[in-house]
Amino acid sequence: MSIKLSQKQIGQRIAELRKMKGLSQEDLAKNIGISRPSLAQIELGNRSIDIMELQNLAIVLGFSLDEFMSKDFGVDHYVVTDKGGKFKPTEERISVPTLKIGKFKNVLLYILERCAGKPNVGETVLYKLLYFSDFNYYELYEEHLTGARYRKLPYGPVPQKMDAIINQMIEKGQLQRVKTEYNGFPQTRYLPLEKANLTELKASEKEIIDRVIEQLSDWSAAAISNYSHKDLPWLASKVGEEIDYELAFYRDAPFSVRNYGNEIEER
């Protein structure tokens, strides 16, 4: 039985089907003849979709409009093709982040090599530099840089297992922890005691990290925290919960690192 769906419900169903089909937003948008930002707004429920666009989506994603608009439609159980056949979902495109400890340590050492001498770069700034390096890389290349998982806390995104990794690096003589003050506030700083192994970083990975350092490493802890609080992955997550990397694809300027040319949102 067909029901009247809200824009948000339609967007959620489209996003789920796209991920199940293994398509990026950019791929699907090109296939149906709209811009990537337009598709992102549809999936978020902020933009309506006309019947022609929905028909194009049905063809590309392989569902029937009757089933799509029904109350019982669910991608967890099946997907209905335009020919009426049913098949079970296989593998989703969503990539579950797996921490690459060696890569994470080298990224941390590289950031500290370039930034540890700056008086503003304590734990707070360091965490944000790691966060934006990871999420910017994922948005641009749809691959994980370090695979670190970040949790939403009141002061911004914080990498999980950070304390254990830091303590391990201190024990191995790779880092030194320093307690100091900056602008009248207590500050925890880390000094690199060895150089990063740059052979562990691809050119594209180093380029993203360098961009983040150039843009944000001179910011104060308060400024970079406030900036991270406006980034959609952080905004869309609940306090205390893990931040989903997939949310990076819904970013708008100035956070989005993809260049979509002169795409114009028509609505």
Residue 95 resides in a domain: no
Quick one: 204 and 155 in the same domain?
Answer: yes
Question: Using CA atoms, how far apart are residues 117 and 27, in angstroms rounded to an integer?
Answer: 42
Q: Residue 30 and residue 131: Cα distance in Å, rounded?
A: 29
Do residue 222 and residue 155 come from a single domain? Answer: yes
Answer whether residue 264 is part of any domain: no
Q: How many domains does the chain have?
A: 2
Do 233 and 114 share a domain, yes or no?
Answer: yes
109 lies in the same domain as 81? no
Give a three-class secondary structure readout of 166-206: HHHHHHCCCEEEEEEEECCEEEEEEEECCCCCHHHCCHHHH
**DSSP-derived pairing of the beta strands 150-153 and 185-192:** unpaired
Per-residue confidence in pLDDT tens, the chain, 267 aa = 456 788 888 888 888 888 888 888 888 888 888 888 888 889 888 888 888 888 888 888 877 787 788 877 765 544 444 444 443 444 444 567 889 999 999 999 999 999 999 999 999 999 999 999 999 999 998 899 999 999 999 888 999 989 999 999 999 999 999 999 998 999 999 999 999 999 999 999 999 999 999 999 999 999 999 999 999 999 999 999 999 998 998 898 899 997 644 443 333
140/244 same-domain check: yes
Counting runs of H as helices and runs of E as strands, what totals does the chain give?
A: 11, 6
Residue with tokens 């910011």: 219
Residue at 258 is within a domain? no
Residue 58 maps to which CATH number? 1.10.260.40
Joined tokens for residue 97: 């982040």
List the one residue out of 47, 71, 59 whose CA is nearest residue 17.
59
Q: What's the rounded Cα separation, in Å, for the pair 19 and 249?
A: 12
138 and 240 in a common domain:
yes
Q: Is 262 a member of any domain?
A: no
Residue identified by tokens 């067909």 is: 2
- Measure CA of the first residue to CA of the last residue in the chain; give whole Å: 30
Tell whether 49 and 163 lie within a shared domain: no
Residues 135 and 80 in one domain: no
The reply to whether 65 and 136 lie within a common domain is no
Residue 186 lies in a domain: yes
If asked whether residues 110 and 61 sit together in one domain, one would say no
Regarding whether 195 and 126 lie in a shared domain, the answer is yes
Structural domain for 177, as ranges: 101-250
Question: CB–CB of 140/147 below 8 Å?
Answer: no
DSSP-derived secondary structure letter, 243: P
- Residue 224 within any structural domain of the chain: yes
> CA 17, CA 206: separation in Å to the nearest integer?
33
Same domain for 128 and 72?
A: no
pTM listed for this prediction: 0.69
Residue 255 covered by a domain: no
